[in-house]
Copies of this chain bind each other. A is one copy, B any other.
Amino acid sequence: MADVAARAGVSLSTASLAFSGNKPVSPATRERVLAAAASLGYAGPNPLASNLRRGRSGVVGIAVGRLSTAFRDPAALPMVDAVSDVLDAAGFGLLLMGDDAEHARLPLDAVIYDICGRETWTSYDDLVARDVPMVVVEGPAWPGTTLIDIDHRGGARALARHLHDLGHRRVATLMLEPSHPQREREAGLREVFPDAEVVGSCASDHDAAQAIVSDYLAAEPDVTAIVCQSDVQAAAVVVEARRRGLDVPGDLSVGGFDGITTPWLDLELTTVEQPLADKGRATAEAVLARIAGEPAHDVVLPVVLRVGGSTGPA
Protein backbone atom coordinates (compact mmCIF):
# COMPACT_ATOMS: atom_id res chain seq x y z
CA MET A 1 0.00 0.00 0.00
CA ALA A 2 2.96 2.25 0.58
CA ASP A 3 3.94 1.79 -3.05
CA VAL A 4 0.45 2.62 -4.17
CA ALA A 5 0.44 5.77 -2.06
CA ALA A 6 3.80 6.82 -3.45
CA ARG A 7 2.69 6.27 -7.02
CA ALA A 8 -0.48 8.24 -6.42
CA GLY A 9 1.52 11.00 -4.78
CA VAL A 10 -0.32 10.83 -1.46
CA SER A 11 0.58 9.71 2.02
CA LEU A 12 0.07 6.22 3.30
CA SER A 13 -2.74 7.34 5.55
CA THR A 14 -4.61 8.97 2.72
CA ALA A 15 -4.29 5.85 0.62
CA SER A 16 -5.75 3.86 3.48
CA LEU A 17 -8.65 6.27 3.73
CA ALA A 18 -9.25 5.97 0.01
CA PHE A 19 -9.70 2.22 0.39
CA SER A 20 -11.65 2.05 3.60
CA GLY A 21 -13.78 5.13 3.10
CA ASN A 22 -13.74 5.76 6.83
CA LYS A 23 -13.02 9.46 6.48
CA PRO A 24 -13.78 11.83 3.64
CA VAL A 25 -11.26 11.84 0.82
CA SER A 26 -11.65 14.04 -2.21
CA PRO A 27 -13.02 12.11 -5.18
CA ALA A 28 -10.04 13.09 -7.31
CA THR A 29 -7.60 11.68 -4.80
CA ARG A 30 -9.56 8.48 -4.44
CA GLU A 31 -9.52 8.03 -8.19
CA ARG A 32 -5.82 8.54 -8.29
CA VAL A 33 -5.20 6.01 -5.55
CA LEU A 34 -7.41 3.38 -7.11
CA ALA A 35 -5.75 3.93 -10.47
CA ALA A 36 -2.34 3.52 -8.91
CA ALA A 37 -3.51 0.34 -7.19
CA ALA A 38 -4.80 -1.07 -10.44
CA SER A 39 -1.62 -0.30 -12.33
CA LEU A 40 0.46 -1.92 -9.62
CA GLY A 41 -1.77 -4.96 -9.31
CA TYR A 42 -2.56 -4.17 -5.69
CA ALA A 43 -5.74 -5.97 -4.67
CA GLY A 44 -6.65 -3.85 -1.68
CA PRO A 45 -5.68 -3.84 1.98
CA ASN A 46 -4.29 -7.08 3.36
CA PRO A 47 -7.11 -8.57 5.45
CA LEU A 48 -4.72 -9.96 8.03
CA ALA A 49 -3.21 -6.58 8.81
CA SER A 50 -6.55 -4.88 8.63
CA ASN A 51 -7.96 -7.40 11.06
CA LEU A 52 -5.22 -6.88 13.58
CA ARG A 53 -5.57 -3.15 13.53
CA ARG A 54 -9.35 -3.17 13.75
CA GLY A 55 -9.43 -5.97 16.26
CA ARG A 56 -11.94 -7.88 14.20
CA SER A 57 -11.76 -10.68 11.67
CA GLY A 58 -15.21 -10.70 10.16
CA VAL A 59 -15.49 -14.40 10.91
CA VAL A 60 -18.28 -15.84 13.04
CA GLY A 61 -18.07 -19.46 14.11
CA ILE A 62 -21.11 -21.71 14.16
CA ALA A 63 -20.98 -24.98 16.06
CA VAL A 64 -23.42 -27.39 14.48
CA GLY A 65 -21.80 -30.71 15.13
CA ARG A 66 -20.93 -32.99 12.27
CA LEU A 67 -22.39 -31.71 9.04
CA SER A 68 -23.93 -34.94 7.89
CA THR A 69 -25.60 -35.17 11.27
CA ALA A 70 -26.59 -31.54 11.59
CA PHE A 71 -28.01 -31.22 8.10
CA ARG A 72 -29.43 -34.68 7.69
CA ASP A 73 -32.67 -33.10 8.79
CA PRO A 74 -33.60 -30.47 6.18
CA ALA A 75 -35.18 -28.38 8.91
CA ALA A 76 -31.72 -27.21 9.91
CA LEU A 77 -31.02 -25.52 6.60
CA PRO A 78 -33.37 -22.54 6.46
CA MET A 79 -32.12 -21.44 9.85
CA VAL A 80 -28.46 -21.43 8.90
CA ASP A 81 -29.35 -19.89 5.59
CA ALA A 82 -30.97 -16.97 7.33
CA VAL A 83 -27.99 -16.55 9.63
CA SER A 84 -25.72 -16.54 6.64
CA ASP A 85 -27.83 -13.97 4.80
CA VAL A 86 -27.84 -11.48 7.63
CA LEU A 87 -24.17 -11.91 8.42
CA ASP A 88 -23.16 -11.71 4.78
CA ALA A 89 -24.98 -8.45 4.42
CA ALA A 90 -22.99 -7.11 7.34
CA GLY A 91 -19.73 -8.30 5.83
CA PHE A 92 -19.25 -11.29 8.08
CA GLY A 93 -18.58 -14.88 7.09
CA LEU A 94 -19.75 -18.06 8.73
CA LEU A 95 -17.17 -20.62 9.81
CA LEU A 96 -18.29 -24.17 10.47
CA MET A 97 -17.02 -25.50 13.74
CA GLY A 98 -17.54 -29.15 13.01
CA ASP A 99 -17.21 -30.26 16.53
CA ASP A 100 -16.69 -28.16 19.56
CA ALA A 101 -12.94 -28.58 19.32
CA GLU A 102 -9.81 -26.50 19.47
CA HIS A 103 -10.59 -23.56 17.32
CA ALA A 104 -8.69 -21.34 19.70
CA ARG A 105 -6.20 -20.26 17.08
CA LEU A 106 -8.85 -19.18 14.62
CA PRO A 107 -9.84 -15.55 14.54
CA LEU A 108 -13.48 -15.61 15.62
CA ASP A 109 -15.47 -12.48 16.35
CA ALA A 110 -18.33 -14.45 17.85
CA VAL A 111 -19.62 -17.99 18.12
CA ILE A 112 -23.08 -19.44 17.59
CA TYR A 113 -23.96 -22.67 19.36
CA ASP A 114 -26.56 -24.43 17.31
CA ILE A 115 -25.77 -27.92 18.54
CA CYS A 116 -29.32 -28.71 19.36
CA GLY A 117 -29.12 -31.16 22.19
CA ARG A 118 -25.52 -30.73 23.23
CA GLU A 119 -25.23 -29.37 26.72
CA THR A 120 -21.52 -29.04 27.37
CA TRP A 121 -19.02 -27.16 25.26
CA THR A 122 -15.34 -27.72 25.56
CA SER A 123 -14.66 -24.29 24.16
CA TYR A 124 -16.85 -22.31 26.53
CA ASP A 125 -14.18 -21.39 29.07
CA ASP A 126 -11.72 -20.47 26.40
CA LEU A 127 -14.18 -18.23 24.62
CA VAL A 128 -15.14 -16.53 27.85
CA ALA A 129 -11.47 -15.90 28.57
CA ARG A 130 -11.02 -14.40 25.12
CA ASP A 131 -14.16 -12.37 25.56
CA VAL A 132 -15.77 -13.79 22.44
CA PRO A 133 -19.53 -13.17 22.36
CA MET A 134 -21.62 -16.34 22.29
CA VAL A 135 -25.16 -16.86 21.10
CA VAL A 136 -26.91 -20.09 21.95
CA VAL A 137 -29.79 -21.46 19.91
CA GLU A 138 -32.33 -23.49 21.83
CA GLY A 139 -30.24 -23.34 24.98
CA PRO A 140 -29.54 -23.98 27.79
CA ALA A 141 -27.95 -20.57 28.02
CA TRP A 142 -24.76 -20.23 29.98
CA PRO A 143 -23.63 -17.11 31.78
CA GLY A 144 -22.69 -14.42 29.35
CA THR A 145 -24.42 -16.00 26.39
CA THR A 146 -27.46 -14.73 24.54
CA LEU A 147 -30.28 -17.21 24.05
CA ILE A 148 -32.47 -17.56 20.98
CA ASP A 149 -35.23 -20.06 21.55
CA ILE A 150 -38.63 -21.17 20.38
CA ASP A 151 -41.65 -22.09 22.45
CA HIS A 152 -41.01 -25.82 22.61
CA ARG A 153 -43.32 -26.36 25.49
CA GLY A 154 -46.21 -24.41 24.06
CA GLY A 155 -45.88 -26.15 20.73
CA ALA A 156 -45.87 -29.59 22.28
CA ARG A 157 -48.86 -28.66 24.40
CA ALA A 158 -50.82 -27.38 21.41
CA LEU A 159 -50.26 -30.57 19.48
CA ALA A 160 -51.21 -32.65 22.50
CA ARG A 161 -54.43 -30.68 22.95
CA HIS A 162 -55.26 -31.17 19.29
CA LEU A 163 -54.94 -34.92 19.75
CA HIS A 164 -56.94 -34.83 22.95
CA ASP A 165 -59.67 -32.89 21.19
CA LEU A 166 -59.77 -35.61 18.54
CA GLY A 167 -60.51 -38.10 21.28
CA HIS A 168 -57.10 -39.65 21.70
CA ARG A 169 -56.36 -40.88 25.19
CA ARG A 170 -53.47 -43.27 24.75
CA VAL A 171 -50.59 -41.43 23.21
CA ALA A 172 -46.92 -42.27 22.82
CA THR A 173 -43.97 -40.10 21.91
CA LEU A 174 -40.82 -40.68 19.92
CA MET A 175 -38.19 -38.45 21.46
CA LEU A 176 -34.95 -36.85 20.48
CA GLU A 177 -31.84 -37.54 22.48
CA PRO A 178 -31.99 -36.00 25.96
CA SER A 179 -31.58 -32.24 25.78
CA HIS A 180 -33.03 -29.02 27.04
CA PRO A 181 -35.55 -28.57 24.25
CA GLN A 182 -36.56 -32.21 24.45
CA ARG A 183 -37.33 -31.88 28.14
CA GLU A 184 -39.42 -28.77 27.51
CA ARG A 185 -41.39 -30.54 24.85
CA GLU A 186 -41.97 -33.54 27.03
CA ALA A 187 -43.26 -31.27 29.75
CA GLY A 188 -45.69 -29.68 27.29
CA LEU A 189 -46.94 -33.06 26.20
CA ARG A 190 -47.40 -34.29 29.76
CA GLU A 191 -49.49 -31.28 30.67
CA VAL A 192 -52.14 -32.97 28.53
CA PHE A 193 -51.12 -36.63 28.63
CA PRO A 194 -49.33 -37.18 31.94
CA ASP A 195 -48.93 -40.87 31.24
CA ALA A 196 -47.75 -40.71 27.65
CA GLU A 197 -45.64 -43.72 26.77
CA VAL A 198 -42.16 -43.32 25.36
CA VAL A 199 -41.49 -45.09 22.09
CA GLY A 200 -37.81 -44.45 22.33
CA SER A 201 -35.38 -41.72 21.40
CA CYS A 202 -33.13 -41.08 18.45
CA ALA A 203 -31.75 -38.34 16.28
CA SER A 204 -33.94 -36.75 13.66
CA ASP A 205 -33.10 -39.39 11.11
CA HIS A 206 -35.42 -41.39 8.93
CA ASP A 207 -33.67 -44.75 9.31
CA ALA A 208 -33.21 -44.56 13.04
CA ALA A 209 -36.78 -43.45 13.67
CA GLN A 210 -38.18 -46.13 11.44
CA ALA A 211 -36.20 -48.85 13.17
CA ILE A 212 -37.31 -47.80 16.62
CA VAL A 213 -40.94 -47.38 15.78
CA SER A 214 -40.93 -50.68 13.94
CA ASP A 215 -40.00 -52.54 17.11
CA TYR A 216 -42.55 -50.54 19.01
CA LEU A 217 -45.44 -51.22 16.64
CA ALA A 218 -44.52 -54.90 16.51
CA ALA A 219 -45.43 -55.14 20.19
CA GLU A 220 -48.96 -54.06 19.27
CA PRO A 221 -49.29 -51.27 21.77
CA ASP A 222 -52.78 -49.92 22.15
CA VAL A 223 -51.90 -46.30 21.50
CA THR A 224 -53.84 -44.34 18.92
CA ALA A 225 -51.35 -41.56 18.30
CA ILE A 226 -47.61 -41.03 18.20
CA VAL A 227 -46.10 -37.62 18.77
CA CYS A 228 -42.73 -37.09 17.10
CA GLN A 229 -40.16 -34.39 17.62
CA SER A 230 -39.47 -33.63 13.99
CA ASP A 231 -41.18 -34.03 10.67
CA VAL A 232 -38.46 -36.37 9.54
CA GLN A 233 -39.24 -38.67 12.43
CA ALA A 234 -42.94 -38.32 11.78
CA ALA A 235 -42.55 -39.18 8.11
CA ALA A 236 -40.61 -42.29 9.08
CA VAL A 237 -43.36 -43.31 11.47
CA VAL A 238 -45.99 -42.85 8.77
CA VAL A 239 -44.00 -44.95 6.34
CA GLU A 240 -43.45 -47.71 8.87
CA ALA A 241 -47.03 -47.72 10.10
CA ARG A 242 -48.26 -48.16 6.57
CA ARG A 243 -45.72 -50.87 5.92
CA ARG A 244 -47.35 -52.72 8.77
CA GLY A 245 -50.78 -52.29 7.26
CA LEU A 246 -51.94 -49.51 9.52
CA ASP A 247 -53.89 -46.64 8.04
CA VAL A 248 -52.77 -43.12 8.86
CA PRO A 249 -54.69 -41.39 10.31
CA GLY A 250 -57.40 -44.05 10.45
CA ASP A 251 -55.63 -46.47 12.75
CA LEU A 252 -52.85 -44.20 13.96
CA SER A 253 -52.44 -40.45 14.17
CA VAL A 254 -48.93 -39.06 13.81
CA GLY A 255 -47.75 -35.61 14.84
CA GLY A 256 -44.54 -33.91 13.81
CA PHE A 257 -42.50 -30.84 14.63
CA ASP A 258 -40.76 -28.17 12.50
CA GLY A 259 -43.16 -27.57 9.64
CA ILE A 260 -41.02 -28.54 6.70
CA THR A 261 -42.39 -30.14 3.55
CA THR A 262 -42.14 -33.87 3.02
CA PRO A 263 -42.66 -34.21 -0.71
CA TRP A 264 -42.20 -37.97 -0.73
CA LEU A 265 -45.27 -38.43 1.44
CA ASP A 266 -48.68 -38.12 -0.14
CA LEU A 267 -50.13 -36.41 2.91
CA GLU A 268 -49.31 -33.26 4.79
CA LEU A 269 -48.17 -33.89 8.30
CA THR A 270 -49.89 -32.36 11.27
CA THR A 271 -47.00 -30.52 12.79
CA VAL A 272 -45.82 -27.71 15.02
CA GLU A 273 -44.44 -25.13 12.66
CA GLN A 274 -41.51 -23.14 13.91
CA PRO A 275 -40.25 -19.94 12.28
CA LEU A 276 -36.93 -21.31 11.07
CA ALA A 277 -35.84 -18.28 9.11
CA ASP A 278 -36.86 -15.91 11.89
CA LYS A 279 -34.84 -17.96 14.30
CA GLY A 280 -31.82 -17.61 12.06
CA ARG A 281 -32.30 -13.90 11.60
CA ALA A 282 -32.74 -13.33 15.31
CA THR A 283 -29.58 -15.29 15.94
CA ALA A 284 -27.56 -13.30 13.45
CA GLU A 285 -28.89 -10.03 14.76
CA ALA A 286 -27.96 -10.99 18.28
CA VAL A 287 -24.47 -11.84 17.05
CA LEU A 288 -24.09 -8.49 15.31
CA ALA A 289 -25.34 -6.63 18.34
CA ARG A 290 -22.94 -8.39 20.65
CA ILE A 291 -20.03 -7.80 18.29
CA ALA A 292 -20.93 -4.13 18.19
CA GLY A 293 -20.80 -4.15 21.97
CA GLU A 294 -24.51 -3.52 22.34
CA PRO A 295 -26.58 -5.56 24.74
CA ALA A 296 -28.63 -8.31 23.13
CA HIS A 297 -31.76 -9.60 24.77
CA ASP A 298 -32.85 -13.20 24.76
CA VAL A 299 -35.59 -14.14 22.32
CA VAL A 300 -38.31 -16.76 22.43
CA LEU A 301 -40.14 -17.19 19.15
CA PRO A 302 -43.70 -18.46 18.90
CA VAL A 303 -44.71 -21.62 17.08
CA VAL A 304 -48.05 -22.55 15.52
CA LEU A 305 -49.88 -25.81 15.20
CA ARG A 306 -50.52 -26.69 11.58
CA VAL A 307 -53.12 -29.39 11.18
CA GLY A 308 -52.57 -31.71 8.23
CA GLY A 309 -53.73 -35.11 7.15
CA SER A 310 -51.70 -37.27 9.50
CA THR A 311 -54.01 -36.85 12.48
CA GLY A 312 -57.66 -37.74 12.76
CA PRO A 313 -60.30 -38.91 15.24
CA ALA A 314 -59.17 -41.63 17.58
Interface set of A (CB-CB < 8 Å, partner B): 41-45, 47-52, 55-59, 61, 66-68, 71-72, 74, 77-78, 80-81, 84-85, 88, 91, 93-99, 101-108, 126, 129-130, 206-207, 210, 235-236, 239, 243, 261, 263-264, 266
Q: A88-B101, A207-B263 are in contact. Are A106 and B129 (CB under 8 A)?
A: no
Q: Please give, as numbers and ranges, the residues of chain B lying within 8 Å of A98 by CB-CB distance.
A: 81, 84-85, 88, 94
Tell me the bound Cα distance from A94 to B88 in angstroms: 15
Q: How far is the CB of A110 from chain B (nearest CB, A)?
A: 13
Q: A67-B84, A77-B72 are in contact. Are A95 and B97 (CB under 8 A)?
A: no
Counting chain B CB atoms within 10 Å of each CB, the highest count among A94, A102, A106 belongs to: A106
Q: Closest chain B residue to A85 by CB distance?
A: B98
Q: Is the Cβ of B80 less than 8 Å from the Cβ of A67?
A: yes
Q: Closest chain B residue to A55 by CB distance?
A: B48
Q: Is the Cβ of A95 less than 8 Å from the Cβ of B48?
A: no
Q: Please give, as numbers and ranges, the residues of chain B lying within 8 Å of A104 by CB-CB distance.
A: 43-44, 47
Question: What are 18 A-B contacts defined by CB distance under 8 Å?
Answer: A43-B129, A45-B105, A48-B57, A50-B105, A51-B51, A51-B107, A57-B57, A59-B93, A66-B81, A67-B80, A67-B81, A68-B81, A72-B77, A84-B98, A91-B102, A93-B97, A96-B96, A264-B264
Cβ 8 A contact of A93, one of B48, B80, B95: B95
Tell me the bound Cα distance from A101 to B84 in angstroms: 12
Q: Is the Cβ of A43 less than 8 Å from the Cβ of B95?
A: no
Q: A48-B52, A55-B48, A106-B47 are in contact. Are A74 and B77 (CB under 8 A)?
A: no
Q: Please give, as numbers and ranges, the residues of chain B lying within 8 Å of A243 by CB-CB distance.
A: 266
Tell me the bound Cα distance from A91 to B68 in angstroms: 20
